[in-house]
Structure formats: structure tokens, C-alpha cells
Amino acid sequence: MADIRLPPTLPPLFPGLPRRLELSAATVGEMLDALEAQWPGFRDRLCEPGPKLRTHIHVYVDGERADLDSAIGAGSRVDVITAISGG
């Protein structure tokens, strides 16, 4: 099971979504599929058409910058970061 850590801006949008959770997924894209299945609309908040990650959403797998195709290991830590903008 991977250790998934989400930014504080997401849980208020999806009732029951925790900041930190564990799930099994082979890639970042599959991780989003699993979260979309449980919280419909989740993918739209992180991805744009392509599909690709939104410009100011950064995902790291075990500390390395990742994209949708990046692999997630059984014990990986995945950090989803809201980056740069805000103001």
C-alpha cells in the first residue's frame, strides 16, 4: 500500500476525503482513478485534458517529481503539492 498525502485544499471539496490515506496503485494515473471512483470529480481538480497534471499541481513519488505514468511502489510515499500560485 502506498502512503498518499494530499494538500489541505482538497478535503473540503469532497466529503470524507482525508488528508492522508493508503491505497494500492501501479502508477500515479491509477492512483487518481482509484480516488475518482470513491470521490467523483477528484480527477478534474488535479488533471486537465490530455490528460496531464494541472500546471500548479506537483506530484512526488518517493521524493522524485512524477507525472501520470510514474510508477508507484508497494511502500511508496506520494506527495501531492499545490505549488507556486495562490497570492
Partner 1 sequence: MSKTVVLVGTRKGVFLLESNEARRDWQIRGPMCESWPIYHAIHAPDSGTIYAAGASEWHGASIWRSTDLGDTWQQSSEGLTYGDGPLKLSKVSGLTAANGRVFAGAEMPGVFESRDGGATWSLLSTIDGHPARPKWNDPENQPPGHLGVPAILQHPDDAKRWLAIVQGVGIFETTDDGVSFTPRNQGLRADWPLEHPDVGFCVHKLVMSRQDSNRLYQQNHVGTHRSDDGGQSWTEITEGLPTSFGFACAVHPHDRDTFFTTVLDPGHGRTMPDGKLAVWRTRDAGASWERLGNGLPQEGAYLGILREGMATDTLDDFGLYVGTSTGQVFASIDEGDSWTEIASYLPSIASVEVAVVDA
Look-up of cell digits 496503485: 25
CB of 75 to partner 1, least distance (A): 28
Q: Are 2 and 16 in contact (CB under 8 A)?
A: no
Contacts with partner 1, residue ranges (CB under 8 A): 7, 9-10, 12-13, 40-41, 44-46, 48-50, 54, 56-57, 82-83, 85-87
**Nearest CB to partner 1, comparing residues 33 and 44:** 44
The answer to whether the Cα torsion of 56, 60, 31, 23 is positive or negative is negative
Per-residue b/e over 62-76, b at no fewer than 16 CB within 10 Å?
beeebebebebeeeb
CB of 73 to partner 1, least distance (A): 26
**Nearest CB to partner 1, comparing residues 16 and 75:** 16
**Nearest CB to partner 1, comparing residues 71 and 83:** 83
